[in-house]
Chain A
Amino acid sequence: MRFHHATLENGLQVVAELNDQAHSVGLGFFVKAGSRDETPTEAGLSHFLEHMIFKGTESRDALQVNTELDQIGAKHNAQTSEEDTIYHVTVLPEYLPQAFEILADILRPSLRTDDFETEKQVILEEIQMYDDNPMSVAYEKAKALHFGNHPLGGSVLGTLESVGALKPDQMRQYFQNRYGPPNLVLSVAGKSSWDQIMGLAKQHTNHWTGSSARRELPKPHGTLAFESLLRADDQQMVLVAISDGPSLESDDRYAASLLATILGDHTGSRLYWDLIDPGLADGAEVSYQDYNQAGAFYTFVSCMPEEAQENLERLATIYRSLQSKPPTEDDLERARNKVMARHVMRNERPGTRMMSLGLNWIYRQKYVSVDDELRLLERVKLQDLERILEHWPLWPATVVTVGPTTDLRKPK
């Protein structure tokens, strides 16, 4: 495993972790642009732009982009979050040059008006698809309620109204502001050579221009509000609770993710034993999400409407009792072993390594190997969990319920 990094003259940062044993190579461009960088009238623009990137350039139309990637057997996709837009491809090593050329080309898109109007329809369909999913509705609502006016509260997809009103010129301007090379990281993992990567990077991105972009980083304070949303036809109830957590810049993020595993892994966790095992809920999970200068613990529960109020009380009791009944050495050990084994397994795929490499670089400018991550997990002590629980208690939390009843109240 060899790590390399460089910054091109135009400001594009390149990182690579090379592994001759790999069968494939993953390549990704990470753009520091997401829903948190949008103004309210731009809601959904980052994600819409992600779609438009695949609509082609001066030299290729949309069908050519898809066809050429498919012809080399590329596994390709893109994703947009609150903070990043990531374009990624995994290919067999012999196709890296073609994959690189295509990906770099589409990152300087034409953004044609007629494509914009057609693709807008696709996005509106995507929004409606998620509107039919109670868990997505609850997640979006809870995030908006928790973060309030903070930029992280905005929806990645936007709404039918906000996306419906977007204009091509807004997108072109947003692209100008956000897709300058200093605001991007290129990450490569798998079978390749540093010479090859630098050669390709210079050949295909040297002409890119643009500057770095500013991001507002206000400190979030969760509103701890409560809201019940009615979906009269639903059979099950969805409960989402959110509380603030350590940020991605903090060394506490490993402890925070172990804490989330202890509390709400899909098996063997506190919520599993208290809610799933007795059949009180058919889903109960906790996840820790780190953001740029922010963080949050998310709890998701799915249950019968009749159990919803009781489950909210149970959740509050479990979280409040953490001060007096903190995790034990054994809890920590089991969570650690699980997380470490999963980590090793996931990272056997170059595509996964490339993602982790890129995200570590874009915000932390740090190379963290798989072994380093294992060491950092190994180093977490009970006192770290206790410190997190003290600084970032999971209760009180912002709570949103979605389902056939709104006759619910926040537990005291």
Chain B
Amino acid sequence: MTTEILTHRLSNGMTLLAEVMPAVKSAAFNLLMPAGAAHDPANRRGLASMLAEWWIRGAGNRDSREIIDELDRLGVSHAASAGTAHLSLSAATLASQLLKSLPIFADIVRRPLLDPEELEPLQALAIQSLRGLEDDPGSKVIVELRGHAFPDPLGLNPAGTVQGVEAITVKDARKFHQSHVGPTNTILAVAGAIDWPALRDRVEELFGDWKPQHQTPLHLGEVRPSQHHLTKETQQIQVAMAIPSITVSHPDYYQARAVAAILGGFSSARFFTEVREKRGLCYSISAGYEGFRERAIILCHAGTSTERAQETLDVMIAELKRLVRDGVAGHELKTMCAGLKSALIMQQESSMSRASMLAGDWYHLGRVRSLDEISAALDALTPATVSQHAASLPIDQLTLTTLGPRPLKFSR
């Protein structure tokens, strides 16, 4: 199941990655620029997010309408957004059209107009999206949890704050763009029915003379285990918790992934079985791994009605403790591996999934793992090694965030 990953380094520091997928008609790309919301000035939270929206509203010699019309004509689905680490631009369409759309995207990231006329609508949109988050308890609790579980600026909501958004000026956006957006450590990952030499030449042509930018390192704050509650008159109490984990580049990374999955990554996983199936305490419950190059967590989430929330939390905590104390069984590990392997193989049916996988690997590891490598790493896991990792889970450092009519009792 090995496919070749093609790599081309531009002299200005940008990396082009590609995977040719002969069985599909589509092609997709992911452009990751190391200019995410973590670089927002402290009094301009939301700037990177706004910049991503601004880009599409005019670049090169096209105005907003010309850009969107042209991309529509090429059938391109596209999205620009700010994550914590990156500003990212993704697009997908029929492979025959992808190269035609690249010059537009090159204009967008290199020559945006950042028209002052657009500032007011963009602020209005950003504020509405922050207000919308307040109306969505399931998402709100996760955003809040990340803020407490990751050190600043990694835990900050990339969408920013109302105050930050209101303070943004055209000058701020221009300055941010000039100082942070450039080819240094930028990753362009492409997957699908592509012609590699043509792609490589086009990318050189469009990005080869892009001037490298200076990279500012992030200064991370401190995190301490904590418990928080947001009071809101909802039907359900949202329960979210985070346990510190290890990063993707750590030698024990797969052990950490296994632990998260066995806890709550599939339908016979422990949370689902104990909380939902046996006790009927909730509808949605999960656990998963998420992280940046610097820090990672295992994130657990459940939503459950007020009178049953305490029991839900208690059972989740008991399951965490059982995992630390008793480790995992061979059959659980086998199940977890089967799920991950089959997801990996099925990824090859989607150019979008592959493009984001390539980009993600390069960001975390500076290389792309082959499917064989991942498969071999999964095969090398044993109940003993995974149990050992589970035993080291720092559950005393757990961060708990709840949202709903009343707080829950929790003791470490």
Question: Which residues from chain A sit less than 8 Å from chain B, CB to CB?
Answer: 21-24, 62-63, 66-67, 69-76, 90-92, 95, 117-126, 128-129, 131-134, 233-236, 267-268, 272-273, 276-283, 302-304, 330, 333-335, 337-338, 340-342, 344-345, 348-350
Contacts and interface: CB of A to CB of B under 8 A. Distances in A.
Nearest to A303: B128
Interface string B214-239: 00000000000000000011111000
A341 B23 contact: no
Given A70-B268, A340-B75, A132 B235 contact: yes
Most chain B CB neighbours (cut-off 10 Å) among A119, A267, A280, A335: A267
Interface string B70-99: 011111111000000000000011100100
A304 B131 CA distance: 9
Interface in B250-284: 266-269, 272-273, 276-284
B64 interface: yes
Most chain A CB neighbours (cut-off 10 Å) among B57, B236, B283, B304: B283
7 contacts: A22-B349, A66-B266, A129-B283, A134-B135, A235-B132, A281-B128, A303-B128
A342 B75 contact: yes
A235 B132 CA distance: 7
Interface residues of B, number: 76
A99 to B, nearest CB: 11
Nearest to A278: B121
Nearest to A120: B280
A248 to B, nearest CB: 25
Interface stretch (B314-322, B338-346, B382-390): B338-346
Interface string B318-348: 0000000000000100110011111101101
A282 B267 contact: no
A26 to B, nearest CB: 10
Interface string B42-79: 00000000000000010000001100110111111110
Contact of B279 (A118, A279, A282): A118
B75 A337 contact: yes
A345 B352 contact: yes
Nearest to A343: B75
B186 interface: no
Contacts of B349: 22-24, 348-350
Given A63-B268, A129-B303, A337-B73, A235 B135 contact: yes
B345 A268 contact: no
Given A349-B349, A350-B349, A122 B276 contact: yes
Contacts of A233: 232-233
B124 interface: yes
B235 to A, nearest CB: 4
A330 B70 CA distance: 11
Most chain B CB neighbours (cut-off 10 Å) among A121, A280, A302, A303: A121
Contacts of A268: 68-69, 71-72
Given A235-B131, A235-B134, A279-B122, A71 B25 contact: no
A280 B132 CA distance: 14
A125 B282 contact: yes
Nearest to A125: B283
A191 to B, nearest CB: 11
Nearest to A22: B349
B301 to A, nearest CB: 12
A125 B303 CA distance: 8
A90 B346 contact: yes
Contacts of A281: 128
B283 A341 contact: no
Contacts of B397: none
Given A236-B128, A273-B65, A350-B349, A333 B268 contact: no
A267 B72 contact: yes
Contact of A91 (B72, B74, B235, B342): B342
A259 B23 CA distance: 31
A236 B135 contact: yes
Contacts of A92: 342, 345-346
Contact of A75 (B121, B334, B343): B343
Most chain B CB neighbours (cut-off 10 Å) among A74, A76, A132: A132
Contacts of B125: 276, 279, 282
A114 B93 CA distance: 50
Contact of B266 (A62, A70, A90, A344): A70
B213 interface: no
B283 A73 contact: no
B73 A334 contact: yes
B10 interface: no
Contact of B280 (A95, A122, A283, A304): A122
A231 to B, nearest CB: 8
B120 A279 contact: yes
Given A70-B335, A282-B129, A302-B128, A118 B280 contact: yes
B276 A71 contact: no
Contacts of B132: 235-236, 282-283, 302
B286 interface: no
A199 B234 CA distance: 51
B305 interface: yes
A75 B350 CA distance: 15
Contacts of B284: 126, 129
B2 to A, nearest CB: 14
B338 A71 contact: yes
A279 B127 CA distance: 10
A126 B235 CA distance: 11
B26 interface: yes
A341 B68 contact: no
